Amino acid sequence: MRRIGAAIVSLAVFLAVWKLVSVIGGYPVYILPPPEEVVARAARAVGSGILWEHSAVTLLEIVLGFAVGATTAILTGIALGKSVLVERVLSPYIVAAQAVPILALAPLLDIWFGGGLLARVVICALIVFFPIAIATMVGIRSTDPLLAEMLRSLGATNAQRTRLLEVPSALPVIFGGLRVGVTLAVIGAVVAEWAGASTGLGVLINIANQGLFDTPLMFVALATLAVIGLAFYGLVVVVERRLLSH
Amino acid sequence: MLPPRLTLACLALILAACQDAPSSDAPDSAGIELREVRLALGYRPDVQFAPFYLAQREGFYADAGLAVTIEHHPAPDVQRLVADGQAEFGVADATDVMIARTSDIPIRYVSTLYQGFPVAIIGEAAVIPADPAGLAGMSIGTPGKFGSSWHALLALLEAGGLTEDDVEIREYPQFNQVDGLSNGDVHVITGFRNNEPLRLEARGTEVGLLTVDEVAPLPGPGTIVGDELLAADPALVRAFVDATAAAQAAVIADPDRGFAAAEASVPTIAEDPDVARSVLDATVALWEGDGFADGAIDEETWSVGYETMVRLGFIDGSVPLEDMIAADGG
């Protein structure tokens, strides 16, 4: 209850500061719309169905992109953590891929993968991959060596050590990576839509900003993305608490 | 570890260094006070802006009492910056001006830069239909459902008795629809007549065009100003418009002169001067259209374009045409 109260107070302060900035700055609506203007526009966007139409597509991209990216990243992170050779071979490519601005590569990825949902999921997964893979590698490497030695002396196979010891002990660190990754999935979906899409919140931002000059609608799309990011982050935290409490 | 006061002082210095230099009137070489103004352009420094470079370098603006600073911003920001007075002048698509004005952004179109509408349907010569009705069933690559490319596409479809549902739209928001066409992903694309066709020809494609001017006339890009400036200082607006038109006429009369000014202002031209020169020649043809008119606004084209934009639902007609343009250029 106290947590909900704190969240409400925090939101109220945020809205008050936003309103204050728009009033003191004297900004017109097309530069910085006040919160009530954005809320009114959101109501119209919900009523017309446009917000859900675009949000549904982005949600699907986030879920699929995060699932593909996180699964691949955890498997890769385990391999990186367990084998120095694998790390030496793969990590330069992984780090280099992370250093390349995906925004520049995304239009080409869109063409390579046929421009549909697959292309957008791939772009989203690529953005999600790095923090989760690195967190998993670090988590696996931080396994207690005494426990590992004990399992080895009991005759546990490599797969058993991974399943019974290394992955469970790495979970807190892996979840740290998943928390970062899930927020990046939201950005990944928007980047993918900016590379080529007809619907989605990234597309709605473009249409509102470049097509309609409707700044309040752009803020509605941005706020929706923020809410989606918070919701997915919260979901990861809930899963983390349930798993780690055992 | 720096003491807190020193840290704050350093932060203050860094922030102060990040501030733009304060604007002030600048003297020209003859010691006359020039009025400093900012010109907001979309896109990036490019040969197609040759008249502005020429006016800046050869004194057209200085003779008009102006010291012009050229800035580049994303296209939709140009309207907002000009409306808010953060730039005195801007260049924008006329169709975007209609929408921005209808969305309560207080700007006006004060002079025409392109007599011909620059957007066309582009593809292999063998694929391009003879008229808009021939687009039925085709897949069309376009940057998105916004901007002059989208307006021109829907105007063409309407002229051909078609709607969006009669074609397949594929969006390329990063403006890489040329790659989509070359890759065979779409039949045709929307693009600028002074850009995409040249890039396709450079790849060995025999290019065909379906233009809007003859079938669905829309006004071309031009100069915009904020309502406030237009009301407060119409003489300033007039001086800018006239100086720009004079420079543009000079480039039309002698493209070599304009190209030299662009080369001096845009270092990247040196990387491929032949392509840049082709872009300039194609751009000059668009400026001229069916006759260069020193920036004058063709009210008939605006009127037809306005009605088209209303019919297509881009604007609702609540803001009359005369509130969108200042036909006397201020």
Last residue of a domain, one of B211, B244, B275: B211
The mean pLDDT value of chain B amounts to 90
- The mean per-residue pLDDT over the stretch A135-142 comes to 95
Q: Is residue B113 a contact partner of residue B222, using CB atoms and an 8 Å limit?
A: yes
At B123, is the secondary structure helix, strand, or coil?
strand
- Looking at the 3D structure of chain B, how many domains does it have? 2
**Burial degree of B24 (CB within 10 A; 0-12, 13-18, 19+):** exposed
Residue B200 has pLDDT above 70, yes or no: yes
Contact B171 A197 (CB under 8 A): yes
Quick one: B68 and B194 in the same domain? no
CA-based nearest residue in chain A for residue B181 = A111
Q: How far is A116 from chain B (nearest CA, A)?
A: 10
Q: Which residue stretches of chain A are H helix?
A: 2-25, 35-48, 50-82, 84-99, 102-112, 117-141, 145-153, 158-161, 167-195, 201-206, 215-245
Q: Say how far residue A95 (Cα) sits from the centre of its chain.
A: 19
The percent of residues in chain A predicted with pLDDT above 70, rounded, is 100
User: Mind listing the pLDDT tens digit for each residue in A99-112?
Assistant: 988 888 898 899 89
Quick one: B319 and B230 in the same domain? yes
B11 in a structural domain = no
Residue B272 has pLDDT above 50, yes or no: yes
Q: How far is B65 from chain A (nearest CA, A)?
A: 31
- The mean per-residue pLDDT over the stretch A196-208 comes to 93
B104 in a structural domain = yes
Contact B176 A111 (CB under 8 A): yes
Contact A28 B84 (CB under 8 A): yes
The percent of residues in chain B predicted with pLDDT above 70, rounded, is 90
Quick one: B110 and B134 in the same domain? no
Q: pLDDT higher for B15 or A165? A: A165
B273 in a structural domain = yes
Quick one: B112 and B225 in the same domain? yes
* Of B2, B101, B113, B99, residue with least CA distance to B50: B113
Q: What is the predicted pLDDT for the residue at B330?
A: 52
Provide CB contacts within 8 A for B150, sequence distance 6+: A211, B142, B143, B144, B190
Q: How far is B30 from chain A (nearest CA, A)?
A: 39
Quick one: B238 and B306 in the same domain? yes
* Of A172, A167, A135, A166, residue with least CA distance to A149: A166
Q: What is the predicted pLDDT for the residue at B23?
A: 44
Report in angstroms the alpha-carbon separations of B249 from B42, B55, B245, B291, B292. Answer: 22, 11, 6, 11, 8
Quick one: B235 and B275 in the same domain? yes
Tokens of B246: 């004079």
Q: What is the predicted pLDDT for the residue at B22?
A: 41
Domain of B152, in residue numbers: 119-211
User: Mind listing the pLDDT tens digit for each residue in B211-256?
Assistant: 988 888 999 999 999 999 999 999 999 999 999 999 999 999 999 9
Quick one: B125 and B171 in the same domain? yes
Quick one: B131 and B109 in the same domain? no
Residue B21 has pLDDT above 50, yes or no: no
Which of the given ranges, A67-71, B39-43, B175-179, has the highest pLDDT on average?
Answer: A67-71
Q: pLDDT higher for B93 or B75? A: B93
Quick one: B56 and B68 in the same domain? yes
B318 in a structural domain = yes
Contact A107 B80 (CB under 8 A): no
- The mean per-residue pLDDT over the stretch B63-92 comes to 94
Amino acid at B175: F
* Of A172, A196, A190, residue with least CA distance to A229: A190
B20 in a structural domain = no
Q: Which residues of A touch B (CB under 8 A)?
A: 28-31, 106-108, 110-111, 114-115, 193-198, 203, 206-207, 209-214
Domains, chain A: 47-245 (1.10.3720.10)
Q: What is the predicted pLDDT for the residue at B310?
A: 97
Tokens of B3: 């003491």
Chain A residues within 8 A of B96 when measuring between CB atoms = 213
**From the candidates B101, B103, B227, which should be mutated to test the interface with A, based on the most A CB atoms within 10 A?**
B103
Chain B residues within 8 A of A53 when measuring between CB atoms = none
Quick one: B131 and B111 in the same domain? no
For the ranges A21-25, A72-76, A118-122, B23-27, the lowest mean pLDDT is seen at B23-27
User: Mind listing the pLDDT tens digit for each residue in A144-201?
Assistant: 989 989 999 999 998 999 999 999 999 999 999 999 999 999 999 999 999 989 899 9
Q: Say how far residue A102 (Cα) sits from the centre of its chain.
A: 14
CA angle B153–B157–B161, rounded 5-degree value: 170
Last residue of a domain, one of B154, B189, B211: B211
B6 in a structural domain = no
- The mean per-residue pLDDT over the stretch B138-151 comes to 94
Query: Of the candidates B80, B147, B176, which has its C-beta nearest A31's C-beta?
Result: B80
CA-based nearest residue in chain B for residue A192 = B173
Chain B residues within 8 A of A30 when measuring between CB atoms = 80, 83, 103-105
Chain A residues within 8 A of B75 when measuring between CB atoms = 210
Contact A203 B104 (CB under 8 A): no
Residue B1 has pLDDT above 90, yes or no: no
B97 in a structural domain = yes
CATH of the domain at B136: 3.40.190.10
Measure the CA–CA gap between A22 and B272, rounded to whole angstroms. 46
Q: What is the predicted pLDDT for the residue at B24?
A: 45
Q: Which residues of B touch A (CB under 8 A)?
A: 74-76, 79-80, 83-84, 96, 99-100, 103-105, 144-147, 150, 169-174, 176, 179-180, 183, 185
| pTM for this predicted structure | 0.85
B7 in a structural domain = no
Contact A111 B170 (CB under 8 A): no
Quick one: B240 and B308 in the same domain? yes
Last residue of a domain, one of B211, B241, B262: B211
Chain B residues within 8 A of A118 when measuring between CB atoms = none
Quick one: B174 and B200 in the same domain? yes
